């Protein structure tokens, strides 16, 4: 086999392991950060018993999740029931593969077995990156739908049904909103979309040209990740946690993790598509600065997502559908049409 292919495979495997681990770590951190922030928003303290300021709460929770008894109820469809948490977690992580975290490939300063190793700041830079994100996003539905069906329980089934309807609907304005970005950047490739935004001292961000698309994408991301106010699949007061009713211990932990990782990855994507990704003043000269910028942007988006959860009540299901089909979708189509006209006038 070609040695280049072998090194590529090894480097990619290591990168994937690192990214997956960091995302799991991000999930762990988010559980505490979210509860602390929610506490502050509602004038409470949040967790503050374990460790300094409650920072070790996550370790306590992890031990609890892992050491609970793994119960598989008798009435479930066993294979699908066990598969569902994984099907929720994996697509949430997969979308991260196309996000570039810095501009240029990084050459390792030493040789490994006589080979010079080049590490890309992305896992895969495919030329249909934006479509890939949308496609993987649509796979995220499966975890919840499978969990809802295989639990063999009315409430779970209703949760699964709601999820499939909600996600199918909110994918549409999400995709159409991205059309504006794609038309301006002239590419579906995420590295090129970021390169476009790296002009004007790294501040030519798409949010300046596509504010409506950004808001639509933000709302749809909340719906796709099943975050409040769109957490209809798991409404605890009407469906007793919906699809997750029959899940306990770490299987529930995986569903929980899928939601947070989805949220983190979608923030990375939003930062990359609308807030310039790694670009910013002097990010081209100092690549490390780019990573800092990206993390700051992602942190800000995550903060606003928690803020939204603390301040908006859950919407009713028929209102959710009406809002999507009668407001978001026409708006996104109008946005794409206006962008096409304006871009056509300017560029040609």
Partner 1 sequence: MPFEIPFVQIVWWAMTACAIGGAIGVVSSNNLFHSALFLVLSLFGVAGYYVLLSAGFLAVVQLMVYIGAIVILVLFAIMFSRRMMKPTEDEMNRQWLVSVIVAAALFSWLIVVVNSVSWPVTSAAPTADTVLQLGLAFLGSYLIPFLVVGVLLSAALIGAIFLAREKVEAEEI
Residue with tokens 């007793």: 240
Alpha-carbon separation of residue 70 from 84, 248, 294 (angstroms): 15, 7, 38
Contact pattern for partner 1 over residues 78 through 117, marking x by CB under 8 A: --x-------------------------------------
Binding of residue 188 to partner 1 (CB under 8 A): yes
Asked if residue 224 binds partner 1 (CB under 8 A), the reply is no
- Assigned token pair, 266: 């979608």
5: contact with partner 1 by CB under 8 A: yes
- CA dihedral for 10, 14, 15, 20, sign (positive or negative): positive
CB nearer to partner 1: give 117 or 161: 161
Closest C-alpha among 137, 129, 130 to residue 166: 137
Q: For the window 305-344, what string marks contact with partner 1 as x by the rule CB under 8 A?
A: -------------x--------------------------
**74 makes contact with partner 1 (CB under 8 A):** no
Q: How many residues does the chain have?
A: 348
Binding span for partner 1 by CB under 8 A among 135-143, 233-241, 245-253, 261-269 = 135-143
Taking the least distance from each CB to partner 1, the nearer of 34 and 171 is 171
Neighbouring-strand partners of residue 112: 115
What letters, b where the CB count within 10 A reaches 16 and e where it falls short, cover 284-309?
A: beeeebbeebbeebbeebbeebbebb
Answer for which of 128, 288, 334, 338 binds partner 1 (CB under 8 A) is: 128
Closest CA to 87 of 238, 255, 210, 236: 255
Centroid of chain to Cα 165 = 19
Verify binding: residue 127, partner 1, rule CB under 8 A: yes
Q: Does 160 bind partner 1 (CB under 8 A)?
A: yes
The residue with tokens 């990782």 is 261
Q: Which is nearer to partner 1, 182 or 298 (CB)?
A: 182
By the criterion CB under 8 A, which residues form the site for partner 1?
Answer: 1, 3, 5, 75, 77, 80, 126-128, 131-132, 134-139, 141-142, 145-146, 148-149, 152, 157, 160-161, 164-165, 167-168, 171, 188, 318
């Amino acid at each position: 086999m070609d040695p280049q292919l072998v090194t590529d495979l090894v480097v990619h495997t290591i990168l994937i392991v690192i990214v997956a681990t960091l995302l799991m770590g991000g999930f762990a951190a988010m559980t505490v950060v979210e509860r602390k922030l929610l506490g502050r928003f509602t004038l409470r303290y949040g967790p503050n018993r374990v460790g300094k300021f409650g920072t070790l709460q996550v370790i306590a929770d992890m031990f609890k999740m892992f050491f609970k008894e793994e119960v598989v109820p008798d009435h479930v469809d066993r294979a699908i029931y066990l598969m569902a948490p994984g099907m929720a977690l994996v697509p949430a992580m997969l979308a991260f593969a196309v996000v570039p975290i810095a501009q240029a490939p990084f050459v390792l300063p030493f040789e490994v077995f006589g080979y010079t190793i080049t590490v890309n700041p992305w896992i895969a830079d495919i030329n249909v990156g934006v479509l890939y994100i949308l496609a993987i996003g649509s796979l995220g539905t499966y975890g919840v739908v499978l969990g809802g069906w295989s639990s063999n329980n009315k409430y779970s089934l209703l949760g699964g049904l709601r999820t499939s309807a909600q996600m199918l609907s909110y994918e549409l304005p999400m995709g159409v909103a991205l059309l504006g970005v794609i038309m301006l950047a002239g590419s579906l490739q995420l590295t090129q979309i970021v390169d476009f935004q790296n002009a004007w001292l790294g501040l030519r961000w798409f949010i300046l040209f596509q504010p409506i698309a950004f808001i639509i994408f933000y709302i749809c991301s909340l719906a796709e990740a099943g975050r409040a106010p769109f957490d209809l699949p798991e409404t605890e007061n009407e469906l007793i946690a919906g699809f997750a009713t029959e899940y306990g211990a770490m299987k529930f932990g995986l569903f929980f993790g899928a939601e947070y990782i989805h949220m983190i990855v979608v923030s990375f994507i939003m930062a990359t598509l609308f807030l310039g990704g790694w670009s910013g003043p002097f990010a081209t000269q100092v690549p490390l600065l780019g990573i800092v910028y990206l993390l700051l942007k992602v942190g800000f988006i995550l903060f606003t997502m928690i803020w939204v959860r603390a301040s908006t009540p859950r919407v009713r299901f028929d209102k959710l559908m009406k809002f999507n089909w009668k407001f978001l979708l026409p708006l996104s189509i109008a946005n794409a049409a206006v962008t096409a006209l304006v871009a056509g006038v300017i560029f040609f």
